[in-house]
Amino acid sequence: MNKIVLLNIQELLQVRQMPTQPLRGEEFTKLPKITNAYLVLCDNEVERFGEMSELNPDVLRDSEVIDATGRLVFPAFCDSHTHAVFASPRESELVDKIKGLSYQEIAASGGGILNSAKKVQQMSEEDLFLQSLEKVEQIIQGGTGALEIKSGYGLTLKDELKMLRVISRLKAHVDIPIKATFLAAHAIPAEFERDKEAFMDEVVHRWIPKVLEEGLADYVDLFCETGYFDAGDVQAVAQAIQGTPLKLKVHVNQFTAIQGIEAAVKNKAITVDHLEVLDHQDLVALKLGETIATVLPACSFYLNIPFSPVKELIKEGIPISLASDFNPGSSPSSNMFFVWSLACIKMKLTPEQALNALTVNSAFAMGLEATHGALFKGYRGKIIVTNKVPSLAYLPYAFGTNHIHQILN
Ligand SMILES: [Zn+2]
């Protein structure tokens, strides 16, 4: 039996009974915590916690003791929206942007999603796997304890399957849960340039059945946006996965509101992601449904586009989760502490609300609420021990700082 006891924890955060529903409204603003706390881990499982004054000294026998004076302790982040498997970063696009090139000019000179796709198509599965494994290991060191990864840079069935197989192999090689999302319709491939309908036909009748047959995905996603895919396509994908284990997620309302949210909520999407632009109809749909709103402030920061109006979502009692959107084109960072800072500095979430969105609600956003997101008896996920900090608010306040002292489990 391997026993670890943390003593004198300044604040032990996110201690709850296992949540049964995503946090919304008043619940979303509260962060349960114990000041001057202890925490006992037995064989990597949370056995008990409480106030130091209640600690039974017998617990310390045969235990590894960690003094956590001045430190905060909380469950690892759940990052429910990433594109962490890609072949090549696109830092030259940043330099192009600095020089004043437009998105179209950058795409014409070999940038954008189609460029990422070309690189994935040219790379072997083995190389893509090895490179991705390194990225995921870095993500874990950054404090992420559960991860969703999307395909979507394949753009052919063969290369989408290659990406999904890489994600499957990653699942087997790291000690955090990974959820795989088949981003079936990310961009329209060049060979279907003038015939989106034919491409969607292919996705619905060949690609999704093949992914199902091989059991390679947990979710299916599409990019619902003007010039890409629309509410009808959301409906078509939802129909294609009806009665299967696959669930729906949708990239939607990043630049325009085109009734995609309504279609997603109606089809019981587990999340709708982005939501930089929201109209009244979108809010009504979300309010009446069960879908979680996943917002991605690092993407808004990098692209210089509006941040999601989360205050309106909160006012309507809609559950919010926060994710990194880690990808080479629009959010080249997987740093969840930075996401936390942006959520507070740019979106005006309180530090407590933001941590709820980064842990409990993001665990729901990937179906991991029974095992991740909050510290409860039996929790087996990773645990973050911070550097010595004056208070919780210091973490989002001191943006860009590495706050991690140790990751347990
Ligand atoms: Zn995305």
* Structure confidence at residue 108 (pLDDT): 77
* Distance from the alpha carbon of residue 231 to the mean position of ligand 1, in angstroms: 17
* Distance from the alpha carbon of residue 72 to the mean position of ligand 1, in angstroms: 31
* Distance from the alpha carbon of residue 168 to the mean position of ligand 1, in angstroms: 19
* Distance from the alpha carbon of residue 124 to the mean position of ligand 1, in angstroms: 23
* Structure confidence at residue 9 (pLDDT): 98
CA distance 259 to 254: 12
Give the E-state strand segments of 211-291 in sequence order. Answer: 219-224, 247-252, 271-274
Q: Are 376 and 17 in contact (CB under 8 A)?
A: yes
pLDDT in tens, 116-134: 899 999 999 999 999 999 9
* Distance from the alpha carbon of residue 327 to the mean position of ligand 1, in angstroms: 7
* Structure confidence at residue 190 (pLDDT): 85
- Domains delineated in the chain: 3-76+372-408 (2.30.40.10), 78-364 (3.20.20.140)
Confidence at 197, pLDDT banded by 50, 70, 90:
very high
* Distance from the alpha carbon of residue 305 to the mean position of ligand 1, in angstroms: 15
Q: What angle do CA 342, 94, 396 make, to 5 degrees?
A: 15
* Distance from the alpha carbon of residue 353 to the mean position of ligand 1, in angstroms: 22
β-pairing, 271-274 vs 247-252, is parallel
Confidence at 76, pLDDT banded by 50, 70, 90:
very high
Kindly state the average pLDDT of the residues 354-364: 98
* Distance from the alpha carbon of residue 116 to the mean position of ligand 1, in angstroms: 14
Question: What percent of the chain lies above the pLDDT cut of 70?
Answer: 100
Whole-structure pTM value: 0.96
Q: Are 149 and 170 in contact (CB under 8 A)?
A: yes
pLDDT in tens, 291-308: 999 999 999 999 999 999
- CA dihedral sign, ordered 178, 182, 187, 190: positive
CA distance 207 to 194: 20
* Distance from the alpha carbon of residue 74 to the mean position of ligand 1, in angstroms: 26
CA distance 30 to 37: 18
Q: Look at residue 73 and give its three-state secondary structure.
A: strand
> What do you get for the CA distance between the two ends of the chain, in Å?
14
* Distance from the alpha carbon of residue 81 to the mean position of ligand 1, in angstroms: 6
* Structure confidence at residue 105 (pLDDT): 83
* Structure confidence at residue 174 (pLDDT): 97
* Distance from the alpha carbon of residue 330 to the mean position of ligand 1, in angstroms: 8
* Distance from the alpha carbon of residue 80 to the mean position of ligand 1, in angstroms: 10
Kindly state the average pLDDT of the residues 340-348: 98
